[in-house]
Structure 1
Amino acid sequence: MKPDLREALKTRILTGDGAMGTYLYQMGFPVGVSYEEFNLLRPNVIEDLHRRYYEAGARIIETNTFSANYESLSRYGLDTDVEAINRAGVEIARSAVGSDAYVVGAIGSIRAGKRKNIRSNQLTQSFHQQIDALLSAGADGLLLETFYDLEEVLLALRLIRKVSNIPVICQFAVEKEAVTQDGHTLAVAFETLRLEGADVVGFNCRSGPNGIMRAIDSIHAEVKLPLSVFPNAGIPDYVDGKYMYTASPEYFAESARKFADRGARIIGGCCGTTPEHIAAIAAALDGYQPQPVAIDLQPPDEKQRPVITITAPSTQEVTPADTKQEPSIVDLVKQRHTVIVELDPPRDLDIRKFMDGAKALKAIKADAVTLADNSLAVTRMSNLALASLIQQQVGIKPLVHIACRDRNLVGTQSHLMGLDALDIDHVLAVTGDPARFGDLPDSSSVYDLTSFEMIRMIKQLNEGVSFSGKPLKQKAKFITGAAFNPNVKYLDKAVTRLERKIASGADYIMTQPVYDKELIIRMAEAVKHLSIPVFIGIMPLASGRNAEYLHNEVPGIQLSDEVRQRMAGLEGEAGRAEGVRIAEELLDTAMQHFNGIYLITPFMFYEMTVQLTDYVWRKTGI
């Protein structure tokens, strides 16, 4: 029987395994799927990878469970499979390797260095569920890896220590700065983890061997626990449509000895590494006699263990941005009826009609012009550029939609920072229609964020904190909206989903267009308890064909039978005139229940929404 992992590390250096996700990618499995689900769908593939690493010399084998938590799996509709995926992960790893290998349950960060605003109770529930599953499956240890801040890894470690004395390895992902993202030096972080019951501390991911070596050398303090290191295979390059890592197995062999000299007792690889890298590490360490290092493997006495409360210190003062004197639409709608009008950016390079529409809406005193973000996944001019133009040249407030579909986390934060620099502070977070149904079906749908997460991340910028958790020197000032579709079978369920968006930080709501007076009344009753204003969507119909297209083909829009009958066969000016009349009747009902009016311009017929804006003012006496 092999000794407890803690005992083994007193006299041995153990070779860890290498990458799972990037290795599967190199084998041809697509990105955008849950590799953890392979524990259930393709267990033979995962078992084969474990076996390859074991045969290469790895004796620390990580389960394929890095992202097998509720928060991550729910994005793939796998939230009910958390326990099954984690238990299978342990069983597959165990069956693939010999009895001399240690199977450690891999648990990754949920915040992942960017989702600072996931509440502690959500983290607790997700970690607790995964920890229980890995422990019940009989893992030899638990590996908390790729954590960016001390607060989160402490939360997971404390949960483990409440229920088990199993060996626990805690690893940070750090950049060149020798601090965690919540501002703690590595020396403080490691000592804190030791006092809370960690058995091994170290690093993985984010950096290659050189970066992790520099992080170790920067500590300048006695680390009283064994170190573990799992570096990436350098910085990836994108070549011929594939990600390639360039650090060779020979380079990893040279680095392994240097890590061992610095007190590392577990040495493996992370992203981009393969069984060849692990074989090189194992060969380099064969016969290596570890030098004594300052290791304290005895758990601290409970009476000596400090009560540690983690608060993220600010590394620099964050100043609020200048407050604009002009009231927000949220302020206005609390005082009076408020009209925002949507103008779609053009699909070509001619912006004259768009600008004419913005000028006409400014003249009729619309409160804001809202610009969709490539709606229906059809390519249009940048709404950021047009928003800046109408703000500067027309003098009307822009409200910019931001779709989760088109930008990854880097692009989304960059886009928002640009909006802030241009003093465009009203935004609407939307999921976005899938790209494959638009005019460029071969393009990718990104969806790094859900609309809920995007709202939370935008509000985080308002706190002066970037997606990665770093300070931004000043606070953004975004007024953030959320979308709501009332055209559903179960309105109460839709409202429950809406309440989650409000809990995420939404400041106001904009609805899909409604064509039924009774639905307007029912919706008013259903949302009257909400703490934020609702702008009800009204889109005048342009023709009978337009009515049938919207009703039958566009998701989230339903027309009543009465409206479809009234529009049947109407085209051109006659169709638009009837469409305006129907919209005015809907407005009569909407204005009785909602101060917020959201008019949507069809086909750039801005004369129609100008007429409807004027109708609102005449009816309300504004």
Structure 2
Amino acid sequence: MKPDLRTVLNREIIIGDGAMGTFLYQLGFPVNTSYEELNITSPDVISDVHGQYLNAGARLLETNTFSANDYKLARFGLESKVEEINRAGVRIAKAAAGPEHYVVGAVGSICGGKRLNISKLELSRNYEQQIDALLSEGVDGILCETFYSLDEMRIALHSVRKYSDIPVICQFAVDQVGRTQDGFLMAEAFSTLRNEGADILGFNCHSGPQGIMSVMEQLDGPLSMPLSVYPNAGLADYVDGHYVYGASPEYFGECATSFVDLGTRLIGGCCGTTPDHIAAISKALNNVQPPPLASIEALSTESIHVVEQTANEGGRGNGRHASDPNIVDLVKERHTVIVELDPPRDLDITRFMQGAHVLKKAGADALTLADNSLAVTRMSNMALGHLVSIETGLRPLIHIACRDRNLIGTQSHMMGFDALGIDHVLAVTGDPARFGDLPGASSVYDMTSFEIIRMIKQLNDGVAFSGKPLKQKANFVVGAAFNPNVKHLGKAVQRLEKKIASGADYIMTQPVYDPELITAIAQETRHLEVPIFIGIMPLASGRNAEYLHNEVPGIQLSDEVRARMSGLEGSEGRAMGVSIAKELLDTAMEHFNGIYLMTPFMFYEMTAELTSYVWQKSGRALAPLFRL
């Protein structure tokens, strides 16, 4: 007979399995069906997935029952099969696992970050029905996963404890802010759940390894109980109608030991992970002995203090003049620098506006503001763009995503830009909402990036999206995004040609970290008539470098850059990041007039120094050289 899961996790590491749903999706099963129904219609498929994870090194399997509750199954007309599906899921997993491996019943959040019209009583009924079925087949524990609120997690935990003293694992899906959706710090949530009967606490989904690590480092006090982590394989990218995850198995293996050092005893994978990811974790942790839980002190994230640079430029500026040349005309004449500064996630805009003033003083030609990048809620870029124009005189270049607005909202938004005199925009698809800080939000996608470019340019012809004539014409200069960090650059350029055919006036690339790739881009795009702004984002630390390379779609770092950044943090890391960026600028300025600098973590001092470097190198030193 196997020892109790709690006992084992107190003294050793257990490797869990990886994703079920996204793995089935990769195998060709459509996303708009119930994967849990496969427990009764195609048990051999589920058994095979379990077997692949066991062969990869997993010692603990989750049942294929994440959404096997009355509320979720009713969407597919399967509400009468709750017990049958859950019991079948346990039987399949136990048959695959054999007597030596653990099987836990997977119970997913019903609300899933959404504000559903469902009472606590109804939630309890749903959880109790599912959990009773799982327990009846003899699972070794219950795993409550992908919960966003403490309130709902408590309901699920109480539902287990109503029937059994079985081991319970409680896992939250949170972003780097480290709070539940109902406002509790993770230390507070963990303390509550521990007092109410949870045995193992942890995180899964929503974030990749770095995001989860950053939250773990915020936990207060000694970690006296085992933690579990099941990260996503980075952030998902939406490519040609499919979700694609970029974090490699090798990266998961590298992160595994860091998780153990933070108190992790159960480690597996969530969305986007495969048997290869689990094999990499298993290999990395082979013969690794975890430190005693009582000896592990919670870590705090290092507070990074940056000297504030304020630009004393008097009171409010008068904004730009209508006669100013647009970015396209400017870049044909000389090197031109666009700097990105993300709107704040808070209501305080003090540091943002300080950054805008500093970048103006450094000589930036335009300040570009993303539209809730990575689907994380930020202050309106329209409002901030208007303030930037008025108070600094910098030209605002505003991103507009297909994700957040339908056709009505998009045209309304564009009409507002026109009224405010904001005439430079960048049309982007936008990262899926389900991977942001409000996963219950809808991703609209009424239009593709091609269509939104065409329709914005239609406003320049005095024609509304509906086809009706407008009383006057707009004057938008529309940019398109380009990701050159791909295996087949030629194919990516072909896609870019379609955006130009749709009406794109200029191109802004994802950040590039390889001088040879910059040269290749110049060669592959030399036939294009629109200007290209090469994206360069200085790295802030070694961890930042690994996060970008492994978890953020569309960004790839060279091995050399990663090696140079490895282990560097704080001011030392930022100084190296700026040094690497200058080397990239040396190559970029040989081939392109357009430079697109992206500010990391509001460290605008870094992009101000790089802006000054461009002017110094081009002989147009309009501002003193900034130094970190």
TM-score scaled to structure 1, two decimals? 0.49
* Larger Rg, first or second structure (1 or 2): 1
TM-score scaled to structure 2, two decimals? 0.48
